[in-house]
Amino acid sequence: MADVEEKMPQGLWATLVFICIEILLIVCIVPNEFIDMAILKEQDWGEVLMGKNQHDALINKTNQLYSKVNLETGLNQTVQSFFVPTAEEREKSKAWEGLGRVWFSFIGNRGEALTKVMYHIYYRLLLLLMWLPYMAVILVPSVLGGYMSWNIKRYTFRHSSPFLNTYSSKIIAFIIASLCVSFIAPVPIPPMIIPVVIITLLPIACSLLIGNLPKRL
């Protein structure tokens, strides 16, 4: 367990750095057309997987969530006004005239890319939430099984495995980190990949982690 405690912060920092680089690439480099292609491609895969009616309902929920968070709260307008001055402010200062042709165009384009990625995040989040009941059906018995195995080891001469405990915790950390990175990634991801990885790996890792905890906590 001490080994995990030493290495987890490094993994956490690596994940945060990777996410920051990912966001920086989106804000500065990735073209809007590429993001549009990724969104449409992933939605096409989702429609094939779920059917048109269910997928249309998912799109409607995504649109509603985006409207509530980004439009009704004024988030998009606030971010835009922070980087791009209003027309009145530009009229007061001649310094904005030269910058306007380059800076405002670039910022507007990058801001649009960022809002597209946020929309894509909402879509992926709602899609993952649709799988939660299926995940719970598999995860809850695995957690209970691991807990019962741990209790059996407490009252018998069976030993807990530090190896299984360590690497199962690493698998869980990897799943969480990959989930955070994949939510922001401006590339099309087949809708089945994330749920299947979670459903197959997470219950096994949780069962091994709990079942091989030290006998005395």
The set of residues, in sequence order, having a beta carbon less than 8 Å from that of 214 and lying 6+ positions away, is 1, 160
| Burial of 98 (C-beta count, 10 Å sphere; 0-12/13-18/19+) | exposed
Task: Break the chain into its structural domains and give their ranges.
Answer: 1-28+131-217, 31-130
Confidence of residue 11 (pLDDT cuts 50, 70, 90): low
What value does the mean pLDDT of the chain take?
A: 82
Confidence of residue 6 (pLDDT cuts 50, 70, 90): very low
Please give the helix or strand (H or E) that residue 135 lies within, else none.
helix 132-154
- Return the DSSP state at 186: -
Residue 145 corresponds to which tokens in the numbers above? Answer: 């099984």
**When comparing pLDDT for 68 and 155, which is higher?**
68
Task: Give residue-wise pLDDT tens across range 139-167.
Answer: 999 999 999 988 888 888 778 888 888 88
List, in sequence order, the alpha helices (H) in 74-104.
Answer: 75-83, 87-92, 95-99
Mean pLDDT value of segment 43-50? 92
Cβ neighbours, 10 Å, residue 164: 15
Q: How many degrees, rounded to 5, is the angle at CA 31 between CA 25 and CA 33? A: 145
Q: What is the pLDDT of residue 1?
A: 43
Confidence of residue 43 (pLDDT cuts 50, 70, 90): very high
Residue 10 to residue 18: CA distance in whole angstroms: 12
Length of the chain counted residue by residue = 217
Q: What is the pLDDT of residue 7?
A: 47
Q: What is the pLDDT of residue 5?
A: 44
Q: What is the pLDDT of residue 101?
A: 61
Task: Give residue-wise pLDDT tens across range 180-215.
Answer: 888 888 889 998 888 888 888 999 999 999 988 887
